[in-house]
Amino acid sequence: MEEMQTFFNANKENLKRLLITERIKAGYGALFIHIQRNKDDTPQQIKTYYLPMIRIPKKIREDLIKKYHDNNSNSSKIFFILYDKDKSLIIEDNM
């Protein structure tokens, strides 16, 4: 997960622009950032894709909704999901 956080921090502004562009096109959702690995578990590449809320897997969608309500979020909040294998991390930021 450390690799993912390093990637996110190094590319945060570009990822925010991508998320905002996709959100305008597809509606409220989250940007997923996933590391693909080779068979020997070494990193191969990092993939990003946007999913509108309706297409986000149920468990993650429930976690996002809870985070949204618990933090008194508003529509200017954006969400990134970093995931690698069986670990994930939700990052909330402002537009």
Q: Would you tell me how many other CB atoms lie within 10 Å of the CB of residue 74? A: 8
More confident site: 63 or 74: 63
**Strand, helix or coil for residue 44:** strand
Phi and psi, residue 40, nearest 5°: -90, 10
For residue 11, the enclosing domain spans 2-94
CA 85, distance to chain mean position in Å, is: 14
> Taking the chain, what is the end-to-end CA distance rounded to the nearest angstrom?
24
Residue 73 confidence class, pLDDT cut points 50, 70, 90 = low
Supply the pTM of this predicted model.
Answer: 0.87
How many domains is the chain partitioned into structurally?
Answer: 1
Q: Please give the Cα distance from 66 to 72 (Å, whole number).
A: 10
Asked if the model's pLDDT at residue 82 lies above 80, the reply is: yes
pLDDT in tens, 9-36: 999 999 999 999 999 999 989 999 998 8
| Mean pLDDT taken over the chain | 89
